[in-house]
Amino acid sequence: MLKPIATVVSERTEVSDDYWGGVKSIIRLNADQPLSTLEGVEEFSHLEVVWKFHKASPDDVHLGARHARNDPQYPKTGTYAHHNHRHPAQIAVSHPRLLKIEGRDLHVEDLDAVDGTPVLHLVAYFKEMGPRGEVTQPTWPTEMLGDYWTEPKAQQ
Q: For strand 118-124 and strand 65-67, is the pairing parallel, antiparallel, or unpaired? A: unpaired
Structure confidence by residue, pLDDT tens digits, 5-48: 999 999 989 888 777 788 999 999 999 999 999 999 999 999 99
CATH 3.40.718.10 fits 6-145, yes or no: no
Write down the domain spans for the chain.
6-145
Q: What angle do CA 51, 97, 110 make, to 5 degrees?
A: 65
Neighbour tally for 87: CB within 10 Å: 18
Task: Report whether 140 contacts 82 (CB < 8 A).
Answer: no
At residue 154, does pLDDT exceed 70? no
Neighbour tally for 27: CB within 10 Å: 26
Question: What beta strand segments (E) does the chain contain?
Answer: 6-10, 24-29, 47-52, 65-67, 76-78, 91-94, 97-102, 105-109, 118-124
45, 41, 70: which is closest to 130 by C-alpha?
Answer: 45
Contact partners, residue 5, CB within 8 Å, separation at least 6: 29, 30, 33, 119, 120, 121, 122
Structure confidence by residue, pLDDT tens digits, 106-142: 999 999 999 999 999 999 999 999 999 999 999 999 9
